Amino acid sequence: MPMELFLTPNWISRFPHLRVGQTTRHGGVSLAPYSSLNLGKSTDDNKDNVKENRRRFCYALGFAPDQLAWSHQVHGTEVRIVESPGDSEGYDALITRTPGIVLVVSVADCTPILVYDALNGAMAAIHAGWKGTAGKLVQKTLETMAQTWGTRGEDCWAMVGVCIGPEAFEVGTEVAEKFEDVYKKWDENRGKFTVDLKKANLAQLLAFGIVEAQIDLSPHCTVTHNRDYFSHRAEKGITGRMLGFIGQKVALEGEL
């Protein structure tokens, strides 16, 4: 797979039928400030450029654009059970176990979390900003998968993708108070708290029973590594969007 377009978790080779990862900002046709692989339909980028970027992304995955399932995200905690591709409204987590559908979430500082239940073939794509993280969206999503398909932590593999890192995510008291002390730190020099979104979301995966060795935790930060990833904060709101994605290929006749 062309790594200039997206990253994949370190466990991906175990599941050759699975496509899972997060795009970078490289390999597209968009011009600054959306350069270059902007996949966000809600930006002010040229729509034809976004369409071409999405075509390139889907081609690299081996899927067609009409196989994508997404939602207009609202920084909430609603989970949608996806049965067919296409658009929806008001969901920040998507789950399915239907092969041939690619779940995608849009990010540019928020945390993308991708989960695969290898026993039941269930998948989740989660968009967790500070509101979703504080609202335990990962926990709620996993519980919904458990209720719907019997998902268990020990059967799951997960990826916590690139988002704004703890050193860059400065917040005020009103946001910091939503998080437990272990996920925040007071910075005397800045007069601000910093919050670790990755650590907070990782804790929800572990609490569900997913083995730490089965979780890929990205070390990168959208702000620090802004050359490779879009950052809403670093680019003052005028930037592109990356996608976190997960989907299963439909087995051809004769394949196991």
3-class SS letters over 137-159: HHHHHHHHHHHHHCCCHHHEEEE
3-state secondary structure of 111: strand
In this predicted model, what pLDDT tens digit does every residue of 69-83 receive, in sequence order?
A: 999 999 999 999 999
* Short-list 112, 115, 140, CA closest to 127: 112
**For the packed helices 197-207 and 137-149, what is the interaxial angle rounded to 10 degrees?**
30
Residue ranges covered by each domain of the chain: 6-248
* Short-list 18, 20, 22, 25, CA closest to 7: 22
CB 152 within 8 A of CB 125: no
Burial code (b: 16+ CB inside 10 Å, e: under 16) for 175-188 equals bbebbeeebbeeee
What is the fold of 6-248?
CNF1/YfiH-like putative cysteine hydrolases (3.60.140)
Strand order across the beta sheet in which 215-217 lies:
79-81, 93-96, 122-128, 111-117, 156-160, 215-217
User: For residue 198, which phi and psi values (nearest 5 degrees)?
Assistant: -60, -45
The residue assigned the tokens 């987590």 is: 93
Per-residue pLDDT of the chain (256 residues; tens, 9 = 90+): 444 899 999 999 999 999 999 999 999 999 999 999 999 999 999 999 999 999 999 999 999 999 999 999 999 999 999 999 999 999 999 999 999 999 999 999 999 999 999 999 999 999 999 999 999 999 999 999 999 999 999 999 999 999 999 999 999 999 999 999 999 999 998 999 999 999 999 999 999 999 999 999 999 999 999 999 999 999 999 999 999 999 999 864 433 3
The residue assigned the tokens 């458990």 is: 146
In this predicted model, what pLDDT tens digit does every residue of 143-201 receive, in sequence order?
A: 999 999 999 999 999 999 999 999 999 999 999 999 999 999 999 989 999 999 999 99
pTM of the predicted model over 0.75: yes
Helix H or strand E encompassing 199? helix 197-207
